[in-house]
Structure 1
Amino acid sequence: MIRTEVLVVGGGNAGFTAAHAASARGRAVVLLEKAEEHAAGGNSYYTAGATRIAHNGFADIADIVDPDERHPVTVVPPYPAEHYAADLAKVTDGRNDPDLTKVLVEESQETLRWLNKRGLRYRLMYERQAYERPDGSYLFWGGLHVGNTGGGEGLIADHTRVAAEEGVVVRYGHAVEDLIVTGGAVVGVRYRTTGGCVGEVRAESTILAAGGFESSAEMRKKHLGPGWENAKVRGTPCNTGTLLEAALAIGARAGGDWSTCHSVAWDALADHNESNRALTNRLTRQSYPLGIVVNNRGERFLDEGADFRNYTYAKYGREILEQPDSIAYQIFDATLRPMLRAEEYDMPGISVFEATTIEGLAEKMGVDATTFGRTVSEFNASIDRTTTLDPTMKDGRAARVKPPKSNWASPIETGPFYAYPVTCGITFTFGGLGSDTHGRVLSERGDPIPGLFVCGEMLGGLFSGNYPGGSGLAAGSVFGRRAGTIA
């Protein structure tokens, strides 16, 4: 048996942040990670590291981002806390918990500063959230500006290094299977190692940071609905919902929306397109606002330009899953192709069809050429060409077809033409455990369960149906720190 003061279950961003916070108070901390060390890091490893924080413009955050020669010609608009809160309410249709939201938006920057002082590194995300303007300057857009240096890999490397410096004991290959309860309080966990050994860790406080249930096809089908068992798992295969079920079994309250999740457009045909630690986030296809998206009937089915991609990408995976055969194609022409994200559309082994004509492209896609040609022609003819294309803002350059394209409509008319096959990639589930704003897990009666805390993707209540890009890592940091501060 292992004894400690604070036990953290899960070695992603939230779990490590909780460990740092507990260690900073002089607490003895043990962190159990289900994966072996070579496969560790949870979903955080697979991210681009994007972290949404409130700030007052570039001058407010310049001291916490790595130097870059582009900084003098860069514009980073302010993103105040009230805008952050409004974005959360907008994309979730008001289903976000207001108390959790208030904490997140008000503590997001300060928490990042705290992590930066502990040794985590950040940068401006030029390749994902800015466009170079004709005068050579860079304009950031969409409220999301900062990310970890080195992406998710750099994030986990920094967390792991800092934890070692703090004396946090990290044990890999320890899958926690159950919670130990004595007198109504959680006093530890039972685990099984990858070698088959079983054991216990006893602790004064247990912080659950073991993710959602997106890696369990059975739980996806049960809670998200039929068809979700076919979604591709973007991140860790370890998030199977075991600890969620264990907490519910001892009387914890379910929190948030268990029927929806974060899901994106994901390379449909690439080899090894699940839990790919070499390519991680590069299998996403997020330049769709510039082109059009059609299903395998050759028809459009969503508004590609409804908003900046970081307000729509986390829900459009669901829209693709609902299409025939759960596949779609992002369509661009030669004029648009240079504007696509290089990290995603120039990656090795990418799935793409290319042809000099629309008819030839349809043939390679296996789509009816007549329907596809009509879709493209009607789209091209409906574009308001009196408005100039500007990808740095919602430019109102619309295509008035059904469904409409509200912004960034450009004709698909100059060969060669490109089609990128995409399916639904699931990132994490929005349902979790109910807690107060400090991460204390609540019982079904609404009382805190002594000794039990939650953070990261196991914390329910912030997101429903959709989420603003970068708010997941921010929430993991904020509520991980809060849980570790009182554990």
Structure 2
Amino acid sequence: MAYDCIIVGGGHAGACAALAAVEAGCTRVLVVEKAPKEWIGGNGYFTAGAHRTVHGGLQDLLPIVRNVSAEQAQAIDMQPYTAEDFTNDIMRLGGSQSDPVLVKTLVDESRGAIEWLARKVEVPFILSFHRQAYQVNGRQKFWGGLALSVEDGGKGLIKADFAALEKMGIEIWFDSPAIKLSTTDGTVSGVVVRRNGQEFSLTAAAVVLAAGGYESSPELRAKHLGSEWEKAHVRGTPYNTGDGFSMAQDIGAKLVGDWKGCHSTCWDANAPANSGDRERSNQLTKSGYPLGIMVNVKGERFVDEGEDFRNYTYAKFGRQILLQPDGCAFQVWSAEAIRLLRKEEYGDEIVEKIIASTIEELADKLQEKGLQDKESFLQTVRRYNTAVHHHRAEHPDLVWNPAIKDGLSTQSSKASLALPKSNWALPLDKAPFLAVKVACGITFTFGGLGIDPDTAGVISKQMGKPIKGLFCTGEMIGGLYYGNYPGGSGLTAGTVFGRKAGREAAKLAGH
């Protein structure tokens, strides 16, 4: 069976590659997906649907979103997010190790990719009031450079992707893992796929790898990330087990990037261990920690919860939770912050809540959930509260504001914590008190294949140039992220490089 283009992997990035290929003229496009149809969408299904992009502020984004009336728009504050902002966010979070050309390509083409998703794919974009804005003095103030989400999150994104695939008549094979890339004189000429117990040798002018990372394989997590990662909770699809990398390596593809790094997050400790929950999906994220504190089972804080906006810390704080005793922690708040916790993550039907009328009662209840040192926990809270009050006494002009880095911290001339909370330091002194137990959820891995930023062509280890006929997009790309990650940039990257791969595939197919 002959095709113009075959895409390996049916997540958001793969869908973008397939749609771009048809748009550029391909007439026979096939998506092969390892997972069964009930696991449609790869990791994209489990996201919040956030897309980070360069934009000129509110007026630039209003034409592509569906949830803002003219009246509502009058009460929204949103700063432009420039190419320099986006670039700096990726580079500073990655310790300046990210491939600057790859980053520039992502940043420069981000806004066009969003427009394409909105107009061509009909992705139902919304402004992310529920995740990226706080109401301050009657106005919705967006923060952290991220403003766009999708109706119904990742579920809505994948629904739009696959409606577009169907509309364009793109063939999809589920339960059909790709097991080998075929080559002819050094050029990729197709792929071998296992379907219904049989192996099919399919030919194509181009193959696009969009099969995700290795985060769902405990063995590969232990090998590349460290033995402690065997106990991480898989946030998304259980089918991302590194198959695409193995196939690419077999024909000499170059591996690049941070193979010891990954995107992780604070995750419900009661969530399934080996896969995401398709019903609750991203609701299992627990990202309210900047409003309170996090302690381990020894009762000790271990991160600066107010170091930066949640967008810029959650992907590394998951790792810090995993490194704690028993690989878990407790998030803790008092009444002042509880009202601001997002209901989709902290609703009564979503998470097990530990509620108490005093901190001492909360400590007793936490012991039943794994807290090992009650007195250490109480001492942590006492020292934290004292430090917060001293800072406020020295800085009466500062006002608590979750939409900016407000400077309300635990550091003053009279009392400073060895591990500060640098912003949004609310005292834990008003009942009721709430805690939830969290673990580490792994989303995707950072190491991947080297690609040509202009074409998304996979680089040959031996030759140092693209392997003809082979392209890559999505979480298989290496070199973009190191150690940490600015939230919302993954889906955008999958779109940017998926479009490139699809267009280049069409060229090879003679269109």
TM-score range, shorter chain: over 0.9
Partner of 1:390: 401
SS in 2 for 1:227: helix
Match of 1:439 among 456, 459, 471: 456
Query: Retained in 1: the 8 A contact 2:344–2:350?
Result: no
Partner of 1:377: 382
SS in 2 for 1:336: helix
Query: Retained in 2: the 8 A contact 1:267–1:273?
Result: no
Partner of 1:189: 191
Instruction: After superposition, give the CA deviation of every residue in 1:5-43 in whole Å (9 maximum; x if it has no partner).
Output: 111111111111111111001102111111122211000
Cα distance, 1:464 vs. partner? 0.8
Partner of 2:414: none
Are 2:433 and 1:399 equivalent residues in the alignment?
no
Distance 1:235 1:67 in 2: 27
Distance 2:357 2:183 in 1: 66
Query: Retained in 2: the 8 A contact 1:255–1:435?
Result: no
Partner of 2:509: none
The structure-2 alpha-carbon separation of the partners of 1:456 and 1:420, relative to structure 1 and needing over 3 Å to count, comes to same
Distance 1:459 1:272 in 2: 26
SS in 2 for 1:475: helix
Query: Retained in 2: the 8 A contact 1:11–1:42?
Result: yes
The structure-2 alpha-carbon separation of the partners of 1:254 and 1:305, relative to structure 1 and needing over 3 Å to count, comes to same
Equivalenced residue count is 484
Distance 2:318 2:273 in 1: 18
Instruction: After superposition, give the CA deviation of every residue in 1:272-294 in whole Å (9 maximum; x if it has no partner).
Output: 78310000000010010010000
Match of 2:153 among 151, 154, 172: 151
Partner of 1:454: 472
Query: Retained in 2: the 8 A contact 1:292–1:300?
Result: yes
Are 2:433 and 1:417 equivalent residues in the alignment?
yes
Cα distance, 1:198 vs. partner? 2.2
Query: Retained in 2: the 8 A contact 1:192–1:198?
Result: yes
Distance 2:401 2:475 in 1: 35
Q: CA RMSD in A?
A: 1.2
Cα distance, 1:149 vs. partner? 2.1
Distance 1:352 1:295 in 2: 17
Distance 1:67 1:337 in 2: 26
Distance 1:121 1:322 in 2: 38
Cα distance, 1:252 vs. partner? 0.4
Distance 1:350 1:196 in 2: 41
**Structure 2: which 5+ runs fail to align?**
412-416, 506-511
Instruction: After superposition, give the CA deviation of every residue in 1:77-108 in whole Å (9 maximum; x if it has no partner).
Output: 10011110001111111111100110111110
Query: Retained in 2: the 8 A contact 1:273–1:283?
Result: no
Distance 2:217 2:207 in 1: 24
State, as a whole percentage, how many aligned pairs show the same letter: 46
Partner of 1:338: 339
Query: Retained in 1: the 8 A contact 2:210–2:472?
Result: yes
SS in 1 for 2:294: strand
Residues 459-478 of structure 1: pairs in structure 2 closer than 5 A: 459-478=477-496
Partner of 1:287: 288
Cα distance, 1:352 vs. partner? 2.3
Name the aligned partner's letter for residue 457 of structure 2. Answer: R
SS in 2 for 1:404: coil
Mean CA deviation greater in 271-280 or 229-238: 271-280
Distance 1:67 1:418 in 2: 32
Partner of 1:14: 13
Query: Retained in 1: the 8 A contact 2:193–2:201?
Result: yes
Distance 2:274 2:217 in 1: 16
Name the aligned partner's letter for residue 435 of structure 2. Answer: A
Query: Retained in 2: the 8 A contact 1:270–1:350?
Result: no
SS in 1 for 2:336: coil
Distance 2:266 2:352 in 1: 13
Distance 1:486 1:340 in 2: 45
The structure-2 alpha-carbon separation of the partners of 1:176 and 1:271, relative to structure 1 and needing over 3 Å to count, comes to closer
SS in 2 for 1:382: helix
Distance 1:50 1:259 in 2: 25
Are 2:372 and 1:355 equivalent residues in the alignment?
no
Instruction: After superposition, give the CA deviation of every residue in 1:199-227 in whole Å (9 maximum; x if it has no partner).
Output: 22210100000000000000000000111
Instruction: After superposition, give the CA deviation of every residue in 1:225-264 in whole Å (9 maximum; x if it has no partner).
Output: 1110100000001100011111112110002111000000
Distance 2:199 2:281 in 1: 32
The structure-2 alpha-carbon separation of the partners of 1:43 and 1:64, relative to structure 1 and needing over 3 Å to count, comes to same
Where do 4+ consecutive residues of structure 1 move more than 4 Å?
270-273
Partner of 1:3: 2
Instruction: After superposition, give the CA deviation of every residue in 1:288-315 in whole Å (9 maximum; x if it has no partner).
Output: 0010000000000110000000000000
Query: Retained in 2: the 8 A contact 1:270–1:351?
Result: no
Cα distance, 1:486 vs. partner? 0.9
Query: Retained in 2: the 8 A contact 1:205–1:452?
Result: yes
Partner of 2:499: 481
Distance 1:355 1:181 in 2: 64
Query: Retained in 2: the 8 A contact 1:216–1:241?
Result: yes
Distance 1:434 1:472 in 2: 16
Cα distance, 1:271 vs. partner? 6.0
Match of 2:128 among 118, 121, 125: 125
Partner of 1:83: 85
TM-score (norm 2): 0.93
**Structure 1: which 5+ runs fail to align?**
none
